Every structure is written in C-alpha cells, then in structure tokens.
C-alpha cells in the first residue's frame, strides 16, 4: 500500500509559477510510474503529466506542454510538478498518482490507477 500526500498548491496570479510535491510513504516510489492529474469544477479528471520509474521518460498533456515539468527524486520518495506561465484555466485540484503499469498508459483516459493522493488546490487568478 502506497500513501501519497500532495503539497504546494495555492493561489497565484496568471503568469506565475508553483511547484507541487507528492511525497510517498508505505512503499518505495521508485517501483511505480507516477503522474499528475487535475480536476476543475464541473469537469472530468484529466491527465497532466507522467514520469517513468527512473525518470527517463516523461509525458505531458498538450495543454501544459512547454509550461509544466514533471520530475522525481527517488531518494526522497517524492515527485514534483513545476508549473510555470500559469493560466486561469489551470485552476483545479491537482492529484498525484502512482501505478504499477507502463507509464505511457497513465495518459489513457479512464485507465485504472493503483494509488491516488488526496489532492491540492491550485487557483490561478486573472
């Protein structure tokens, strides 16, 4: 069992930056592909970014490509999401996820995910 705890959310102006962290406990995070998803009010949860076990492969949603960067520090059992050039449409609850399967499948809408964090709110004001 893996417990995931997100932090780093908050209120930021458009054009600003935030860094989200996801700390894992209960099992080493290096055994899992990890990713970030988000859910805006009234919308479905959507994929944001994912990273492979050793960090060698990363995937991004088109809407965040070039603005967001996912990274991981397996020694600290932590995954990060650096968000820059934030837009009001980035406002959402951001969730960390970890999965035993191939990292590329985390992009697939509706793909089962083994573990979820509780989420952290990101609000971008215009």
Q: What is the mean pLDDT of each run of 10 residues along the chain (126 residues)?
A: 96 98 92 96 96 94 98 96 98 97 87 94 97
Residue 108 has a pLDDT of 87
Residue 110 has a pLDDT of 81
Tell me the Ramachandran region of residue 107: left when phi exceeds 0, alpha when psi lies from -120 to 50, beta otherwise.
alpha
From the list 111, 97, 89, the residue with the least C-alpha distance to 40 is 89
**Residue 51 per-residue DSSP state:** E
Residue 109 has a pLDDT of 82
Residue 15 has a pLDDT of 98
Residue 4 has a pLDDT of 97
């Amino acid at each position: 069992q893996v417990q995931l705890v997100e932090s780093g959310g908050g209120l930021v102006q458009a054009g600003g930056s935030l860094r989200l962290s996801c700390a894992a406990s209960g099992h080493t995070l290096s055994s899992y592909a990890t990713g970030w998803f988000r859910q805006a009010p009234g919308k479905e949860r959507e994929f944001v970014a994912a990273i492979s076990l050793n960090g060698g492969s990363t995937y991004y949603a088109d809407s965040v490509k070039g603005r967001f960067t996912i990274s991981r520090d397996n020694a600290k059992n932590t995954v990060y999401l650096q968000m820059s050039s934030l837009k009001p449409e980035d406002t959402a609850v951001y969730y960390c996820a970890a999965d035993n399967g191939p990292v590329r499948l985390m992009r697939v809408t509706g793909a089962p995910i083994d573990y979820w964090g509780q989420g952290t709110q990101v609000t971008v004001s215009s």
